[in-house]
Amino acid sequence: MAFLRGLWLIFTQTTKELFFSGKTLLFLAGCGIYAAAVALVLSQVGDQEDNNDLFAFLTLGIYWQGMLPLTAMFFSISAIRDEIADRTIVFLFDSPIPRSSIWLGKMFAASVVTILILLIGYAGAVFLATRVGDDGHYRLAQSTLEAPWLPIVCGAPAYAAVGTLLAVFFKRSMIAGAIYVIGWEQFIGATPGQAGARQLTVIDSVRTMFYHRVEEAGQFRRAMRDWATGGEDGPARDAAAAFESLLWLTGICVALALILGARKDYDSAPKE
């Protein structure tokens, strides 16, 4: 009971604190750049098939590989580390709730805020993309428009779980998060598929989900096939397997965060 009460109150409060902060405006501006880039590029091309492929490329390249990890990691780390830096975390620690409800409440809040910000940006991109061009109205295939929903809903909590683990464990967790996003995710995520190491990244599962949801006949999907199969002729990892990988990664990070953060002292250079 105390766990659920703490989880809900911390989730709602943190969501409000994060969403109505100046940081949200910063990330919305980043999403605006993506939407503007999509509109600009699509306004330069003609037929519908190119539009679908370009839209998918831009969405995967800028949004899911850039904005998703950055936003989710930033908010999940910030939700915890800002409170530790301000020492307001003490008011949560001395309440009769388990610490797991604090970490999970903050992780869920960061996930929800990330999803909201990215969906606002994505809605803006779709709005602009369907209104540019000579006749002011290019159509994008329904499957292309719907492709990002699942990756964002699954990817945000996974990144938030990694961010929560880093925030709980590392004092300089923003730096650790940047190293994770730029180093681990991009570097390991780009290794050949046959090695299987890519499955240790969130981005690989997000890309796989995205791949399975875009227009089958499009060039984008064909271009991604080599990547998805590791250059072999075998089948690409299916979306269910990618989802399972994300679940494992998320679960391991959450479990480690709860264990490492269960009794850690965040407020103790003995100061008086």
Partner 1 sequence: MSPGLEFDRVSRWYGPVLGISDISFRVESGVVGLLGKNGAGKTTLLKLAAGLLDASIGAVRVFGGSPQRLAVRARIGICSDVDRFYERMTGRDWVTWQLRLAGVANARVRATEALERLDMQDRMDTRIGGYSKGMRQRVKFARAIAGDADLLLLDEPLNGLDPVGRHDVVKLIQELGESGKSVLVSSHVLQEVEEITRSLLLIHQGRVLAEGTIENIRTQLEERAHLVELRARDLRGLAARIIGCEGVEGLDVVDGRLVARVRDTDAFFDEVTSIGSDFGVSAVVPLDAGLEAVFDYLVKE
Positions that interact with partner 1 (CB under 8 A): 1-2, 5-6, 9-10, 13, 17, 20, 86-88, 90-98, 263, 265, 267-272
47/272 with CB nearer partner 1: 272
Q: How far is the CB of 99 from partner 1 (least distance, A)?
A: 10
Q: How far is the CB of 111 from partner 1 (least distance, A)?
A: 20
5/222 with CB nearer partner 1: 5
20/127 with CB nearer partner 1: 20
CA distance 165 to 180: 12
What DSSP string describes 206-244?
A: HHHHHHHHS-TTSHHHHHHHHHHHTTSSSPPPPHHHHHH
Give me the helix-helix angle, 219-229 and 202-213, nearest 10°. Answer: 140
5/131 with CB nearer partner 1: 5
12/48 with CB nearer partner 1: 12
137/271 with CB nearer partner 1: 271
Q: How far is the CB of 268 from partner 1 (least distance, A)?
A: 6
Q: How far is the CB of 169 from partner 1 (least distance, A)?
A: 17
Q: How far is the CB of 259 from partner 1 (least distance, A)?
A: 15
Q: How far is the CB of 119 from partner 1 (least distance, A)?
A: 24
CA distance 50 to 56: 10
Query: Alpha-carbon Rg of the chain, whole angstroms?
Result: 20
Q: How far is the CB of 266 from partner 1 (least distance, A)?
A: 10
Which DSSP symbol is given to 257?
A: H
Give me the helix-helix angle, 48-58 and 99-129, nearest 10°. Answer: 150
What DSSP string describes 38-92?
A: HHHHHHT--SHHHHHHHHHHHIIIIIIIIIHHHHHHHHHHHHHHHHHHHTTHHHH
97/147 with CB nearer partner 1: 97
Contacts of 160 (CB under 8 A, 6+ apart): 72, 73, 75, 76, 107, 108, 110, 111, 114
Burial class (CB in 10 A: 0-12, 13-18, 19+), 200: middle
What DSSP string describes 155-186?
A: HHHHHHHHHHHHHHH-TTHHHHHHIIIIIIII
